[in-house]
Amino acid sequence: MKHTVLLTCICGLLFLCGCKSHTARNERPLEVMTFNIRLDAPSDSANNWKYRKDNICRMIAYYQPDLLGMQEVCHNQMEDLKQGLPQYTALGVGRDDGKEAGEYCPIFFNTGRFTLVEYGNFSLSEQPETIGIKGWDASYNRITTWAILQEKSNGKKLVFFNTHLDNDGAIARKEGVQLILNKIGEIAPGMPAVITGDFNCTPNEAPLQTLEKGGMENTAKTATVTYGPSWSFHDFGRLPAEERVLLDYVFATGGTKATRYRVIQDAPENGFLSDHCPVLVDLTLQ
């Protein structure tokens, strides 16, 4: 009788372990994209937004990221994206007035997968609660949009930050990422975090090292499988290949497993999606 009970217990434990392992293996990855879509500039001529917007929406609908951070989004572009991507909830404000003026750094999340818990915006400056001011040595107002999201399937929460660092101010870039790290600790301490953005930094520059020292991992370095070019900025194809650089990144909390990383070099039949390539990463959060 004792042997039978012992055997039953062992079988039960093996079954539970097997179920747990099966669940872990089949946990749906989190697909995260960052994409600088290029503002709506009449000077872009054949690369103007009106010629690119439909292809951008089709590209996003094809890859179906769960989390999408975009940069250089003007208000009219924000409205076009909302209309073209009804499967997403869009969050963000213009960087000049906290409403509709100036570029957005919006977050789009898969409405079918997540419930919004809380969200907000702050400027990258010495006065983060004041939108519309330049920080440190920046040439432009800069903004970050963030959201706490809850998975509908399992109740797990994560915090998602999206930003665009200054192109000129080296101090502003370094202080900006430190501010983001501080905000993660303030808004969602202990919660898994994802940061997307155009950091205007190449891989070995100080702001990215600040993020890594702050406990975030650069998925371009940690992903199990990487594919695509080593650069993301190409200036609508005008830059020679040897001058193209990686400026767009996905960072995630330390310990997160990045399984796949890709710089998407897709282009429509005529023209380009943007002057940047999107970056797409598959993550399994711890």
Residue ranges of domains in the chain: 28-284
252 bridge partner residues? 194, 217
CB 165 within 8 A of CB 201: yes
Assigned superfamily of 28-284: Endonuclease/exonuclease/phosphatase (3.60.10.10)
Six-digit token string for 34? 């960052």
Each residue of 45-75: pLDDT tens digit? 999 999 999 999 999 999 999 999 999 999 9
Residues, the chain, total? 286
Place of tokens 């039978």: 4
Can you tell me the distance from the alpha carbon of 59 to that of 84, in angstroms, rounded to the nearest whole number? Answer: 11
Nearest to 279 by CA among 258, 264, 260: 264
192-228: burial string, b at 16+ Cβ within 10 Å, e else? bbbbbbbbbbeeeeebbebbeebebbbbbebbeebeb
Order the strands of the 107-110 sheet from edge to edge.
88-91, 107-110, 67-71, 30-36, 279-284, 257-263, 225-227
Six-digit token string for 185? 């600790």
- pLDDT, residue 24, reads 42
The Cα-based distances of 160 to 32, 138, 139 in angstroms read 10, 24, 26
pTM of the model: 0.91
**Beta pairing, strands 30-36 & 225-227:** unpaired
pLDDT tens, position by position, for the chain (286 residues)?
444 444 444 444 444 444 444 434 457 899 999 999 999 999 999 999 999 999 999 999 999 999 999 999 999 999 999 999 999 999 999 999 999 999 999 999 999 999 999 999 999 999 999 999 999 999 999 999 999 999 999 999 999 999 999 999 999 999 999 999 999 999 999 999 999 999 999 999 999 999 999 999 999 999 999 999 999 999 999 999 999 999 999 999 998 999 999 999 999 998 999 999 999 999 998 7
- pLDDT, residue 175, reads 98
- pLDDT, residue 23, reads 38
